[in-house]
Amino acid sequence: MKFPFQTVAIIGKQKTADVAAPMLLLGDFLAERGVSVVVDGLSAEHIKGHRFTAMSLDEIARSVDLAVVIGGDGTLLNIARTLAPHGVPIVGVNKGRLGFLTDLTMGTMLAGLSDMLDGRFITEQRLLLEAKVMRDGAEIYGGLAFNEIVVHRSNISSMVEFEVRIDGEYLYNQRADGLIISTPTGSTAYAMSAGGSILHPSLDVLQLVPVCPHSLSNRPIVVKGTSVLELLMHRTGDICVRYDSHTNVDLELHDKIIVTRFEKPVYLLHPEGHSYYHTLREKLLWNQTL
């Protein structure tokens, strides 16, 4: 991570016109602070008469010192997979609903970014997953996920049947509606809805959470973050693997999915005083009395 931040990208939620005003506001503010500002090309389409350089996400990943994402957690998930391989830190401004990853609000955006430009911030590393789909010994798809890798069936197909191995050792055969392989970040997403544990994001672990397993003895399991997870498909039929709800790959009989921790983390920047437990209390309404 490079500091001080000399070139900052502003990335808005795609296909959303109401990000134009906060992007312009933030862009003007950063320019007044002497920072070089770029905006992502898709968001730039909504900004009339802006004076900033527009770039693709791939160009941004290679060119900037910091990225500010205005949107919800879903927007940040998508951006993180592109920026993480280049070590670009990310700040999230919440314009969505829940916002576990996006700390700043529209009201605190300028003050928060001002502090960060002055070096007052907390840096956090979050692990990414890398998953390869193997067919007949060849890789047919590879991609990254920030929250989870999910193998699941469609609404009309029968249960998924698969074998799971951890570091080459057989764990179990399973019949279920699916399986979630979650990062600590993703533990407050789909994995939590499926009965998984909430994991502190600093933990170097992965979580396997069955979705509606046929046997009630099949429970979530947490394994070390360096584990190599293998899923071998024993029964398919309208089954796919999903990467963070953004990419789907259809699976066939005997396909193997290999999931590992990606070699580089996501760098998230938080305001000073940030507390993960405060975020949990606020987002999960634990601070409300009964």
Question: How far apart (Å, rounded) are the C-alpha atoms in residues 272 and 239?
Answer: 44
Least Cα distance to 149 among 110, 119, 189 occurs for 189
Query: Under a CB-based contact definition with an 8 Å cutoff, are residues 20 and 95 in contact?
Result: no
Could you give the count of Cα atoms lying within 13 Å of 140 in the half-sphere of its Cβ? 14
Per-residue burial over 240-263, b if 16 or more Cβ lie within 10 Å, else e, is: bbbbbeebebebeeebbbbbbbbe
Query: Under a CB-based contact definition with an 8 Å cutoff, are residues 72 and 15 in contact?
Result: no
Q: Could you say which of 40, 73, 103, 255 is catalytic?
A: 73
Query: Under a CB-based contact definition with an 8 Å cutoff, are residues 1 and 67 in contact?
Result: no
Q: Can you list the alpha helix ranges (DSSP code H) found in 120-250?
A: 190-193
Query: Under a CB-based contact definition with an 8 Å cutoff, are residues 32 and 42 in contact?
Result: no
Is there a catalytic annotation at residue 65? no
DSSP 198: P
Least Cα distance to 187 among 174, 204, 199 occurs for 199
CA 281 to chain centroid, in Å, comes to 21
237 phi, psi to nearest 5 deg: 140, 95
Query: Under a CB-based contact definition with an 8 Å cutoff, are residues 147 and 209 in contact?
Result: no
Residues near 290 by beta carbon (within 8 Å), at least 6 away in sequence: none
Question: How far apart (Å, rounded) are the C-alpha atoms in residues 275 and 72?
Answer: 19
The residues assigned a catalytic role are 73
